[in-house]
Amino acid sequence: MSTDPADDRGTGLADGRALNRATHRAAGAATGPVAGPSPARAAAPSSDPVLDIRDLSIVYRTPAGDVRAVDHVNLALAAGEVVGLAGESGSGKSTLAYGACRLLRAPALVTNGSVTYHGRRMSRPADLLRMQPDELRRLRWREIAIVVQSAMNALNPVLRVRDQLLDVIHAHLKMSRDEARERAGSLLDLVGIPRSRLRSYPHELSGGMRQRVMIAMALATEPEIIIMDEPTTALDVVVQRDILAQIVELKDSLGFSILFITHDLSLLLELADRIAVMYAGQFVEIATSDEIHREAAHPYTKGLLNSFPSLRGPRRELAGIPGSPPDLRNPAPGCPFVPRCGYARPACRDVDMQLLPVATSRDPDHATACPFVLPDTSVEPVPSVASGSPAGEPGT
């Protein structure tokens, strides 16, 4: 597959932005790749990305104008890698993932970009956005499966677990009835549910079990990529940790890649190899989890990191992020985070949202869209929250 960062996709657009980006990528290639296709990570067994999203833009057509839900995003997912997409609701993280698989309907519209899938079972790379519908249907779930947030809504309430698993198996794999039944049983073994539950209906299962059934369904065809859209948000922490540990175990033994979508950055820090932080349809920062944790560069990422109370260690001053995300119908020029940013300055209005490498980072791929607040610049934030910490403690 083409890994040329100066790939000319998008240059046909009248929008000068895309051109900027292409040149930016070319420049980035000289100094080390930036946000485009990432080179092999130590953990990743293969150097070629399984999924390569290039310059993807998605809008929602509304009478009042286009809502730019995803705006020129680049993301590569290596084999066996866990990439986390973090951001608030409305930041475009789900739209990005679903759009890349062409799962969105009108009024959503992919306006730009390419999504290349190259799995082990494929003879050649396939562009998901330009595929014939029947090809796409074969590829979906067989190669790219999805675990959605609300398992109760995703499972069919009038079908037994077994029948739902068999549906998936028969739709995508050539298998005899008996084989398929055996497979359905072994899938439940895989996710730690007793086989007796094959006869259960979804309402007879607990929330955690339902989510496990969803994961079993995703695993049924041994896909190369599993997109997980807030798979544990509705569950409590103990069950959440158990399921996540199980996902990681399965990933290690079966070797699929995960695109993990969540608004809980603390979860991603533990789970993901790399994290892309999304704000207002754009990536504002991308780096390995350790780098995000140790040396987040973008003010928004820093804000997210300061948003959750920590259970261990000394009590920190918590800040949160005041304000709300911008209206994406009429985005203001420059950085979309300006109104909420403690470091904002007039020049932020002219920022072209490009991901620039963070020079001081240990991760050569660490990139941020904020050109001002890099770790080496000592800029004091303008205090924006009066007293962020919910004080309520009698001593420490």
Give the interface with another protein as residue ranges (CB under 8 A): 82, 88-89, 192, 206-207, 235-242, 244-245, 248-249, 252, 263-267, 269-273, 289-290, 293, 303-305, 307-313, 315, 318-322, 324, 385, 387-396
> Using the 8-state DSSP alphabet, how is residue 140 labeled?
B
Q: How far is the CB of 325 from another protein (least distance, A)?
A: 9
Nearer to another protein, 56 or 67 (CB): 67
* Residues 286, 297 contacting (CB under 8 angstroms): no
Q: How far is the CB of 263 from another protein (least distance, A)?
A: 5
Cross-strand bridge partners of residue 59: 68, 109
Q: Which residues are CB-neighbours of 299 under 8 A, at least 6 positions away?
A: 337, 341, 342, 343, 370, 373, 381
Q: What DSSP string runs through 147-182?
A: E-S-HHHHS-TTS-HHHHHHHHHHHHS---HHHHHH
Nearer to another protein, 18 or 205 (CB): 205
* Residues 72, 56 contacting (CB under 8 angstroms): yes
CA distance 235 to 212: 11
Q: How far is the CB of 196 from another protein (least distance, A)?
A: 14
Nearer to another protein, 179 or 189 (CB): 189
Nearer to another protein, 63 or 313 (CB): 313
Cross-strand bridge partners of residue 68: 59
Nearer to another protein, 36 or 90 (CB): 90
Q: How far is the CB of 306 from another protein (least distance, A)?
A: 8
Nearer to another protein, 134 or 393 (CB): 393
Q: How far is the CB of 375 from another protein (least distance, A)?
A: 18
Largest CA distance in the chain: 68
Q: How far is the CB of 103 from another protein (least distance, A)?
A: 23
Residue among 366, 372, 327 at smallest CA distance from 349: 372
Nearer to another protein, 8 or 393 (CB): 393
Taking residue 221's Cβ as centre, other Cβ atoms within 10 Å add up to: 19
Q: How far is the CB of 250 from another protein (least distance, A)?
A: 10
Nearer to another protein, 5 or 231 (CB): 231
> Using the 8-state DSSP alphabet, how is residue 349 labeled?
G
* Residues 100, 261 contacting (CB under 8 angstroms): no
CA torsion angle for 179, 184, 189, 194 (degrees, to 10)? -120
Beta strands 82-86; 144-147: pairing state? unpaired
CA distance 229 to 89: 12
Cross-strand bridge partners of residue 214: none
Q: How far is the CB of 206 from another protein (least distance, A)?
A: 5
CA distance 17 to 20: 5
Nearer to another protein, 103 or 305 (CB): 305
Q: How far is the CB of 52 from another protein (least distance, A)?
A: 23
